[in-house]
Amino acid sequence: MQNYPYLDVKPEVAQAVAEGKPVVALESTIISHGMPYPQNVETALQVEKIIRASGAVPATIAIIGGRLKAGLSEEEIEYFGKKGMAITKASRRDLAVLCARGKDGATTVTTTMMIAHMAGIKVFATGGIGGVHRGAEKTMDISADLEELSQTPVCVVCAGAKAILDLALTLEYLETHGVPVIGYGTDELPAFYSRHSGLKVDYRMDTPEEIAEALRAAESLHMRGGMLVTNPIPEEYSMDASVIGNAIEEALREMDALGIHGKECTPFLLSKVKDLTGGDSLESNIRLVYNNAALAARIAAAYAK
């Protein structure tokens, strides 16, 4: 492993990586910015339990005091949950400055991929990735997550891109940058809160072993970028697309009226959609994260074999 002076790998995680055992990375923005306290802490700890029950070691990733952490303690997860939005949402552009200044940072998909790769972790579970925002033809608002997927060799397991985004343009961007989009048990791109978007993925794969074999092939070919595995939310927690669509449209109108832009968009929209759906979207969000964690652990276990 290359030497990274700012990187601290939890001993349990370091040992698992060194021994070739399955490890699954987890982001910390979902703790600090994705859910209210104490649900954020309860969810984060439950996700770790699900990964352990599925035979892998969890590695929640964050920046604490300028140190890149691959694996958090329960106390550190509690700390992130309580500080919440007061912690900087850290993308690639923020990493060096936060390290230099000794500050905290909640890792997005982008920075979780970066730190996971530094630590030798191949598989990462999240809720939904960022993507091309609606109206990006005017604003150029495109998540750094997509660029990171094109250059960092980590397998990201998600429930598709967040439904607040332009899903068709997100797929186009990924295609242009050579990122394979795999549907787990589906030919269709999941739409985060709901199972259907009407958009096709690049490949359908029906077992964790099939995905792990594709990962091994990509590694042997020295492919530069990552792989996106889209896992539909369980049927019983899938929301009606029209209900979510109406809530998103209302949230977007309010966001525009308030002049919110940049990295504040996603937290605002997710919170507003939660309010407009009476909390149903938060419950769906939690359940799809659990579902993704279990699949990521099975992929990591199959890869380790």
**Distance of CA 4 to CAs 9, 50, 145, 152, Å?**
10, 29, 22, 16
Q: How confident is the model at residue 263 (pLDDT cuts 50, 70, 90)?
A: low
**73-123 per-position pLDDT tens digit:** 999 999 999 999 999 999 999 999 999 999 999 999 999 999 999 999 999
Q: What pLDDT score does 1 carry?
A: 52
pLDDT value of position 119: 97
Q: What is the DSSP string of 16-85?
A: HHHTT--EEEE-SHHHHTSS-TTHHHHHHHHHHHHHHHTT-EEEEEEEETTEEEES--HHHHHHHHHHGG
Contacts of 95 (CB under 8 A, 6+ apart): 63, 68, 105, 111, 114
Task: Answer for the pair 154, 25: CB distance below 8 angstroms, yes or no.
Answer: yes
- Would you say residue 273 has pLDDT above 70? yes
Report how far Cα 132 is from the mean position of its chain's Cα atoms: 15
Residue 159 vs residues 62, 227, 282, 286: alpha-carbon distances, Å: 21, 14, 14, 11
Residue 133 banded pLDDT, cuts 50, 70, 90 = confident
**Coil, helix or strand at residue 133:** strand
Taking the C-alpha atoms of residue 237 and residue 285, their distance in angstroms, rounded to an integer, is 9
Question: Does 162 participate in catalysis according to the annotation?
Answer: yes
27: annotated active-site residue? yes
Burial of residue 260 (number of CB atoms within 10 Å: 0-12, 13-18, 19+): middle
Confidence of residue 270 (pLDDT cuts 50, 70, 90): confident
Q: Can you give the pTM of this predicted structure?
A: 0.92
Kindly give the pairing relationship between strand 155-158 and strand 227-230. Answer: parallel
Domains of the chain: 7-304 (3.40.1790.10)
- Marked catalytic residue, from 162, 263, 272, 274: 162
CA atoms within 13 A on the CB side of 280: 14
Select the more confidently predicted residue: 133 or 10: 10
pLDDT score at 262: 67
Instruction: List the catalytic residue out of 27, 48, 78, 148.
Output: 27
Among 298, 270, 267, 280, smallest CA distance to 233 is for 280
Q: Parallel, antiparallel, or unpaired: how do β-strands 181-184 and 203-205 relate?
A: parallel
